[in-house]
Structure 1
Amino acid sequence: MAKKKHYGRKSAVNRNWANIERENPLWESYYRSLQLFPDDQWELFKKACQEPLPLTFRVTGSTSPKLRKEILQLFQQDHLEKLTGVEFEGVKVDPPQLLPWYPSQSAWQIDVPKRVMRKNEMFSATQRFLVLETGAGNISRQEAVSMVPPLLLDVQPCHKVLDMCAAPGSKTAQLIEALHADPATPPTGFVIANDSDTRRSHMLVHQLKRLRSPNYLILNHDAQFFPRIAVEQDVSSKHKCLKFDRVLCDVPCSGDGTLRKNINVWSDWKHQNGLGLHALQWKILNRGIELLEDGGRIVYSTCSLNPIEDEAVVAQALRKWGDSVSLVDCSAELPQLKRCRGISQWPVIGKNQQIKTRGDEGSLESWFPPTAEEARMFHLERCMRILPHQQNTGGFFVAVFEKTASVETAPEVEEKLAAVTIAEPSTTAPAEKKKKALPLDAIDEPFNFVSGDNEDMQKCWSFFGINEQFNRDCCLVRSKLGDPIRVVYTVNPMLKDIIQMNGEKLKKIYAGVKMFVYQRDDIECPWRIHSEAVPCIRNYMNHNRVIEGDKELLRVLIEEPFPTYDFLLKHDVSQKIIDKINTLSTGCAFVHVSRDDEDKESLLIPIWKGVKSINIMIAKQDAHELLYRVFGIETKAKENPNARVSPEDAEKDSTDACDKVEPALS
């Protein structure tokens, strides 16, 4: 949802959620008064808010059409029937259904809460399928309403996109997928994913790496003060400021649209939650509009139904920007998505449940509804409210703006503008912040680019037969010296320019795809190609290091650690394949496997060719996913079928000083 760190939220540790009553008189009184829908729908609305949220997922939009079709067929053939006509705790569970409004029929809803899917044996096979395909980057488990804002941004492969409050990253992933929507055309655009929380910024890496895209950069800035990003110089020798074609402002919010999954919101809800967040939300939206290109589109969204956080923020943007921005009428977009229109009237209620009026001490002018004249100009009815009882979802608010003209801002005040637009009143005592530990694999090293003429890089280009059409000068390393020592990444050319031109001004967390990993220096090429880089490099590589294999070879490589060539012969791998393997020098190579069905995508898998044996070089979860998708073999998370080789024996034939290569399923 918009932000999982909700205002006023207490730790769930030692809280017995089963004992939290899903009632709150203040919440009920307030939302009844708003008249968001006819009175006879109130009980349906409240009942929906009190019920657990169903599980939803979508097939990743950047996968090839063949792979997308294969994943959908797997779900329908192996799981749809098993989940049809079942009962759980004496209640009949509705069969899974397509989300009718999501494009390409690639999103599904399962009317079982996530916690039940995880722990109940009845649903274990489907849960395992979801885990495997999520880890492989083929699907994303995401709440249905969370899928809406990226769709309404209408991202194209050439767009420059900013996600201002990106963590945990499900919407960001959608934006990146939209760049790669046409597999035949590499995107020229990029996504900058920003989050103000350092730890959550690092968590974005794990969400986005699954997509294997070189077209994103993760930053760690306070969104309301998002910095000017310099791009190319103009004729006056001054740097131009980067403007974005698309901006997503999915801002921190009180989260009362998440009542179905965040049960503690019931007990924590109070009027001042929305009042306290309004100023921050407006500042972020205002900064987003400043950074938007003329003719660009910006989406403002929250997982709150509170108009103080929703229409009041939108109205303030329209009030401040005048004719420079306009609300887009999205009523014809996603036509099968049920929604309500935005509202133009709401009460402002303070801490002691008193009705506030304009001019009251400690109140903000922008909390209050627009005047009658403003309401006619603003068209707040074009905002979109998605309510839980309409389509069995969470609650959500979305507003879409288009920018029609620039308003010039002096560079020396641009950084401060968002901070002074509204003075934020204090509604609570400031909480004492605890320093959060970063993930163990977080990298805290500078970004330095390596020339394509670098000696190590020349070895890689030659050894793997990578042609000059590949952007050889877009390789970067994370080290102070800037030499390729351990890992080399590749990024989009425009991101390279941004990283180089802005130096330490940007608080960079991660960028691009891990491409080359150092292996050992006693062979022809000491580097291997990382599996993450295969999708973006396969079309630029010749077949010198590619073995045309078959499914039997692939299965042996997945199930057997470091199989010898004699072992391969005994397991029906053809002599022709083994002869091809023996023609290769020691080092990284690839196995290409065509599928029996022409409608299924062929596989290109990295391996390590040793003196006496070979080894597949993919992560454990990817190996499990291939066993299931290609061979129909179901495995368990803790299964370790190839623990027949000791680490000492494995090290004799294949070592990796920085990213240890292990048997695929060990």
Structure 2
Amino acid sequence: MGRGGNRGGGRGGRKAFRGKGKNNRGGGRDTRTEPWSDIKRENELFESYYRKGGFMEEEEFGEMWKYLASDLPNSFRFTGTKSDALAVREIFKRRYIPAIEALDFEGTRVEPPKPVEGFPDELVWDMKTHKKVIRRHKPFAEFQKFLVAETTSGNISRQEVVSMIPPHFLDVKPGMVVLDMCAAPGSKSAQLAEMIHGDEEERVMQAARNESPNIDDGGDYSDDGRSTGLLIANDTDYKRAGMLVHQVKRLNFPNLIVTQHDASIFPSIELPSAEGEKKQYLKFDRILTDVPCSGDGTARKNPNVWQKWTPKDGLGLHNLQLRILFRGLQMLKKGGRLVYSTCSMNPVENEAVVAAAIEACGGISKVRIVDCSDHLPKLKRVPGLNRWKVFDTSAFPGSQEKMGHLFTSWDNFVKAQAKYRAEEPERQFSSKVSPGCFPPTASSDEERIPLERCMRVYPHLQDTGAFFIAVLEKLDDIKVAQIRNADNEAELRKATNELEATVPASAATSAVEKIKEEAVEEANGDATPGDRSPLKRKLEEPDEDAASKRVKAEELPAQPVVKPEEQDKETGADVPMAVDDVQPEINGTTTVSTPALSNQAKRLKPEAQSQSKEFFEYLPADDPTVADILDFFGISERFPRDRFMVKNKEGLTLNKIYYTSALAKKIISQNKNRGMKFIHCGVVMFVAHKIKDGNIKAPWRLQNEGIRILEPWASKRIVTCTSKQTLYKMLIEMFPKLPKDGSHEIGEIGDQLTDMEVGCSFIRIEPSEGEDGFPFRMVLPLWRHPGSANMMVDKDDRKAMLLRLFNETNPIIKNHVLEKARAAEEARKDELEAESRELDEELEQVVDEAQAEEVDGEEKPVLGDYMEVEA
């Protein structure tokens, strides 16, 4: 069981995005002092744009806005291998749903958690019960304990419903190589890892029995039943990448690498090649680009959206999102699939980015939007937009009054700029509005980008947050293209010059007047609520810390033109960018040059790493320590010996030995000195066991994280358990006694351990029917001590298993070793106190005797006056 932001954005936005989690996009850290229920869910700019922007009819908008201003239901997902997830789901349904269904609150039957329509196998659930009901009834408290315990064990993920959607549209199969470009905090990465893993454990057991592990399901299990796929999960911020590692570690997944890079210039990954051959670089079958966004779709759970939303958030992020998407398409295999997603409703961050990226790649002959209307058919969504308006605000320097503007095209934006430059030259607009923010224009239907194939999920459709998803397929190698600079000054100057060049000097005055007339509706009246009065909004002055963490897109510095790949002149294939072309940061800004590259890309230079850098050193296939361990457990020769790794610079087997997949090893070994920032890889398989007895044949413990990978190939040290009562005894009691005379109270496990030498072993539990049966297969590590036995499972996992299997809500776990140590400590404490009392009594007697005697009429000196007495 349990195996299953600055979100990868540009360097220029590092400070602006720091600390921005998936659940806190669009407003930075929550710094409010008043309760969430007291926050006014109102924002005139916010509502004005989505009411007047042409997104939906007025009646539907009213319903959508009502949902957006209401609380979000709690949701969760059963995770891990499918068989384990279904087993835990059944325990949940059988034990907790009936108890909640039986409740009555103020004369109304309480609504229990329900599976969310649109997701397969009832693995996604939500709960809309009000907090007042939850607080008053015991079944909810018990259900909450179950949720917490299973989340800690990794069998449940507390995740928002719309956040679960994008991985489903990637159509990942075991054996595929997948990149999650902006992965933190890691919930989607966990979904992708499960998809790559597939039903690997069942296939491995088939292979170990010499049965064929492959069936025609599109997966690749050619590595003796193991999935040959790989997930690379990336995030640019070190702290958020740390959160990501914490999330994915519990998957116990050897086919996973976590990196820390700017997603918009993610470095190319070199693959091993024979000497003299042309270098090969990794291309991905699937890529998820769940990019940084303004997050206005999270307004149901993020109060900062209501307090701080401005149109400049989306405008400032457009270029960063475009560069991340473009880089993803470059790294995608021909025929590969990429999902672009945001938790924003703003088309400037959604359809506009998709259209601009496709145009930059060479049009729909190079990249197409996939029609996914038949996938997840019960998921309620609406088509993407082909037309939209770009919202901007303007103001005079130092003024707190803002005027709202809606523009339908770049031309009208240029005209409005000319109008206001003539009338109010000091009025300032955003510098982030660019041609790519507007709907694309096509000269023919054949060239039109079908943006209606994108998907929009609105809150009122199935009581969720809002989300945008676009599925893209790469049809051909893409040509080098330039991503426009984030600042529109050059574009605007060029467009203005072109506009003025078309106006004869003799007609200048009348032309200006005409421009004014054409721009009035676009620039003013259509955007402002009420009677064309300008929108007034007091500018807030957040505290310094909040300002540094808020997604304040308008403050992002201009991003340079980035051309991560060139094309081989002979073959037309993409040639990866070398990190030599990325210059060091100067005053917080990264400059990128793009000289022509040869057919063989330049070698990447090592980057400055954090002081807490991880080292990944693989052990040789004939390492004697690993050989002794594997022999001790009788591991088949078919199990690979060359994938074991340690995390120290010297490559020594000191404390922990990790295991990774074959492809993970290739990538780590080939790229660790090329500037790649690897921060996590590998599953802990063995840990050194330090005990006084030095005559142990293999002083290494099996770890719960990696035991299920190794166990199918073991022929020694296997203990079977068929009784739930025996397992209960092992869970509720740590270090139960196992004397040399063979007497014990741990049933069949004790019987099998009696003649077994000291060391670690496997407890194997097969699924079985009946009240005393087990709902799923389990493999647990157990250490056989000279006089006791102990399951090597931590306290939290023990409690989760006791709750899951035995409905023990408050178990008291006995620890004989700890109790013995405490008893010895208490005895020693009592002994010291007794010694101290005896010494005090002796001193008192000496003092009394000295004071009773006098010499020449004088009192004798007291002993304590001349010497110290040690107590």
Given the two structures, how large is their TM-score scaled by the length of structure 1? Answer: 0.88
Alignment of 1:18-417 (within 5 A): 18-60=37-79, 62-65=80-83, 67-84=84-101, 86=103, 93-112=110-129, 123-183=140-200, 184=203, 185-233=225-273, 237-321=277-361, 322=363, 323-352=365-394, 353-356=404-407, 358=410, 359=414, 360=417, 362=431, 363-371=433-441, 373=443, 377-407=448-478
Query: Structure 1 427/145 Cα, relative in aligned 2: closer, same or farther at 3 Å?
Result: closer
Measured after TM superposition, the shift of residue 206 of structure 1 is 1.8
Q: Do the aligned residues in 1 keep the contact of 2:342 with 2:350 (CA within 8 Å)?
A: yes
Aligned-pair CA distance for 1:605: 1.3
Deviations 1:224-261 (A, max 9, x none): 01001001327853321110000000000010111111
Matched with 1:590 is: 762
Instruction: Determine the C-alpha separation between the residues in 2 that align with 1:567 and 1:47.
Output: 71
1:93 Cα offset (Å): 4.5
Closer/same/farther in 2, CA of residues 290 and 116 from structure 1, 3 Å limit: farther
2:683 equivalent to 1:513: yes
Give the root-mean-square deviation of aligned CA atoms.
Answer: 3.0
Structure 1 pair 312–105 and aligned structure 2 pair: CA distance change class (3 A): same
Unpaired segments ≥5 residues, structure 1: 410-416, 434-441, 653-666
Could you report, residue by residue, the CA deviation over 1:39-83 in whole angstroms, capped at 9, with x for unpaired residues? Answer: 2222211111111111122221x4252x33321211111111233
Cα distance in 2 for residues equivalent to 1:13 and 1:336:
38
Measure how far apart 1:643 and its partner are.
5.3
- For residue 198 of structure 2, give the secondary structure of its aligned residue in structure 1: coil
Aligned partner of 1:662 in structure 2 is none
State the 1:491 CA deviation.
Answer: 0.8
**SS of equivalent residue, structure 2 residue 264:** helix
Relative to structure 1, the CA distance from residue 267 to residue 329 in structure 2 (aligned partners, 3 Å threshold; closer, same or farther) is: same
| Stretch deviating more after TM superposition (252-261 or 79-88) | 79-88
* Rounded Cα–Cα distance in structure 1 between residues aligned with 2:465 and 2:740: 54
Mean alpha-carbon deviation: is it higher for 136-145 or for 282-291? 136-145
- Corresponding position of 2:781: 606
Decide whether the 8 Å contact of 1:549 with 1:591 is kept in 2.
no
CA–CA separation in structure 1 for the residues paired with 2:741 and 2:250:
31
- Aligned to 1:75, the other structure's residue is in SS state helix
Q: Deviation per CA, 1:253-277, whole angstroms, max 9, x where unpaired?
A: 0101111111221111111110011
Task: Give how far 1:334 is off.
Answer: 0.6
- TM-superposed CA distance for 1:644, in Å, is 5.6
- Corresponding residue for residue 530 of structure 2: none
Residues 340 and 386 of structure 1 are in contact (CA less than 8 Å); yes or no, is this contact kept in structure 2? yes
For residues 448 and 275 of structure 2, the distance between their equivalents in structure 1, rounded to whole angstroms, comes to 40
Deviation of the 1:460 alpha carbon: 0.9
Structure 1: distance between partners of 2:75 and 2:730: 34
Kindly state the Cα deviation for residue 577 of structure 1 after the two structures are TM-superposed: 4.1
Deviation at 1:207?
A: 1.2
Task: From the superposition, tell whether residues 595 and 104 of structure 1 become closer, same or farther in structure 2 (CA, over 3 Å).
Answer: closer
With over 3 angstroms needed to count, the CA separation of the structure-2 counterparts of 1:541 and 1:59, relative to structure 1, is: same
Question: Which of the residues 634, 637, 640 maps onto 2:809?
Answer: 634
The Cα of 1:620 is off from its aligned counterpart by: 1.8
- The SS at the match of 1:150 is helix
| Superposition deviation, residue 551 in structure 1 | 2.4
Which range moves more in the overlay, 227-236 or 138-147? 227-236
Shift of 1:136: 1.9
SS at match of 1:218: strand
Deviates more, 1:452-461 or 1:596-605: 596-605
The answer (yes or no) to whether the contact 1:550–1:593 under 8 Å persists in 2 is no
Q: Share of identical aligned residues, percent?
A: 38
Find 1:457's aligned residue among 626, 635, 638. Answer: 626
2:799 corresponds to which of 616, 624, 627: 624
How far residue 642 of structure 1 moved from its aligned partner, in angstroms, is 2.2
Alpha-carbon distance in structure 2 between the residues aligned to 1:52 and 1:230 = 47
For 2:714, the equivalent position in structure 1 comes to 541
Q: 1:295 to 1:380 in 2, by over 3 A?
A: same
CA separation of 1:249 and 1:429: change in aligned 2, threshold 3 A: closer
Secondary structure of the equivalent of 1:473?
coil
Rate the CA distance shift 1:120–1:368 in 2: closer, same or farther, 3 A: farther
Does structure 1 retain, via aligned residues, the 8 Å contact 2:455–2:468?
Answer: yes
Counterpart check, 1:562 vs 2:735: yes
Deviation string, structure 1 residues 437-481 (Cα, Å, up to 9, x no partner): xxxxx9633111011311111111111111122222111111011
The residue type paired with residue 391 of structure 1 is Q
* SS of 1:531 mapped into structure 2: coil
Map of 1:489 onto structure 2: 658
Please name the residue that 2:28 is paired with. 9
Greater displacement, 625-634 / 304-313: 625-634
Distance 1:53 1:248 in 2: 25
1:354 is paired with a residue of what secondary structure?
Answer: strand
Q: How far apart in 2 are the matches of 1:113 and 1:371?
A: 48
Residue 520 of structure 1 aligns to a residue in which SS?
coil
Equivalent pair of 1:344/1:381 in contact (CA under 8 Å): yes
Match in the other structure for 2:752: 580
Count of aligned positions: 630
**Paired letter, 2:387:** Q
Distance 2:61 2:381 in 1: 15
| Partner Cα separation in structure 2 for residue 118 and residue 250 of structure 1 | 35
Residues 82 and 550 of structure 1: is their aligned pair in 2 closer, same or farther, counting only changes over 3 Å? closer
**Gapped runs of 5+ residues in structure 2?**
8-21, 204-224, 395-403, 418-428, 489-551, 558-586, 589-610, 825-871
Please give the secondary structure, in 1, of the residue aligned with 2:448. helix
The change in CA–CA distance for 1:257 and 1:402 in structure 2 (over 3 A counts) is same
Tell me if 1:550 matches 2:720. no
Rg: which structure is higher?
Answer: 2
Query: Which 10-residue stretch deviates more, 559-568 or 217-226?
Result: 559-568
CA displacement 1:479-521 (0-9 Å, x = unmatched) = 0111111111111100100000011321011112111111127
Distance 1:534 1:590, change over 3 A: same
Distance 1:377 1:160 in 2: 31
- Return closer, same or farther for 1:155/1:607 CA change in 2, 3 Å cut-off: same
Post-superposition CA distance 1:557-597 (Å, at most 9, x none): 211121102699888533x6434212221111122234542
User: 1 CA distance for matches of 2:443 and 2:636?
Assistant: 63
Partner of 1:499: 668
**Range 103-112 or range 609-618, more displaced:** 103-112
**TM-score under structure 2 length normalisation:** 0.68
1:313, distance to aligned residue in structure 2 (A): 0.2
Conservation of the 8 A alpha-carbon contact between 1:347 and 1:355: yes
1:304-363 superposed Cα distances (whole Å, 9 cap, x missing partner): 000010000011012111121000011111100110111122222223323355245833
